Amino acid sequence: MEKELLALKSEKNAVILAHNYQPAAVRAVADAVGDSLELALLARDVTADCIVVCGVLFMAETAKLVNPERKVLLPARDAGCPLADHLTPGMIEKAREEHPDAAVAVYVNSTAGCKALADITCTSANAVRVVRSLAEEEVIFGPDANLAAYVQRQVPEKRIIPTPPGGHCYVHTGFTLADVEAARARGCTIVCHPECRPEIQERADIIASTGGMVRGGATAGCWSVFTERDMVLRLRSLYPDGTFCEKADAVCDDMKKITLAGLLRSLEREEHEVTVPDEVMHPARRAIERMLAVPE
């Protein structure tokens, strides 16, 4: 199937981009694997006819927003992100009414409709940098309240307004103080994603996006990785001498909806094309471009 897929990819002049949480079989046929920010940057530069995003809907929508001329396919129509669904355009409008002087920074794990109402977007890799770049002192930030708390600690000079107050990812909020204790008992370094709860972040040794984990993964010793389970497989493949521990039930069900068979079918039939309505395209694109222009 892998051979067939690679032949089809060149026949269709397609590029396959996969998120770090994708299963190993899917990562193996991808042209590039990365975190949300890396995938957005890669998608922006694609000159091939078609971009196949092996990830979830917001990642495919982001690819379409940064490179609207390309056909963007998501191999599983229903691969969404429950965190993204915590925020609605109505919540942003209400927050703007309540805080008229605040900027609106929306996490890329959001719908295109929410991005269209934002001043700027961010990912977990650049959220601190993005918020620091804003002139406004108050920042409406959503949908992830744990990432908002992380940003608030890093940028104390601003007032972050989490919107909605309890927005969260069920995979990351599954990590508990018992997991921290177990990791400590094994003598592991704890690396956590900023979508984990503040009490976990406070006890972690490293807080990083999935891309940050890839870049820092060569560190010696044992790593307890507090994010989606397949991230550990990715780290093991990159650093075969490293010791990485996962949490068995930290699984993002939507990420696993992408399979090699589904990918083949999607490319063959060019099905599950992701589009963004015209009225949303321009303002959402502007918010993403603004993020991409924030200096490193």
Our CB check for ligand 13P shows the closer of 111 and 209 to be 209
Say which entry of ligand SF4, ligand 13P, none residue 36 contacts (CB below 5 to 8 A, set by partner kind): ligand 13P
**Does position 210 bind ligand 13P by CB under 6 A?**
yes
Give the 3-state secondary structure of the chain: CHHHHHHHHHHCCEEEEEECCCCHHHHHHCCEEECHHHHHHHHHCCCCCEEEEECCHHHHHHHHHHCCCCEEECCCCCCCCCCHHHCCHHHHHHHHHHCCCCEEEEECCCCHHHHCCCCEEECCCCHHHHHHHCCCCEEEEECCHHHHHHHHHHCCCCEEEECCCCCCCCCHHHCCHHHHHHHHHCCCEEEECCCCCHHHHHHCCEECCHHHHHHHCCCCCEEEEECCCHHHHHHHHHCCCCEEECCCCCCCCCHHHCCHHHHHHHHHHCCCECCCCHHHHHHHHHHHHHHHCCCC
Shortest Å, Cβ 169 to ligand 13P:
5
**Does position 171 bind ligand SF4 by CB under 6 A?**
yes
Stretch that binds ligand 13P, among 86-94, 119-127, 235-243, 284-292 (CB under 6 A): 119-127
Say which entry of ligand 13P, ligand SF4, none residue 20 contacts (CB below 5 to 8 A, set by partner kind): ligand 13P
Stretch that binds ligand SF4, among 10-18, 75-83, 123-131, 235-243 (CB under 6 A): 75-83
- For ligand 13P, the binding residues in 144-173 under the rule CB under 6 A are 169
Our CB check for ligand 13P shows the closer of 109 and 111 to be 109
**Does position 210 bind ligand SF4 by CB under 6 A?**
no
Stretch that binds ligand 13P, among 91-99, 121-129, 160-168, 262-270 (CB under 6 A): 121-129
Residues 229-268: x where in contact with ligand SF4 by CB under 6 A, - otherwise, as a string:
-----------------------x-xx-------------
Residues lying near ligand 13P in the complex (CB under 6 A): 20, 35-36, 109, 123-125, 169, 193, 195, 209-210
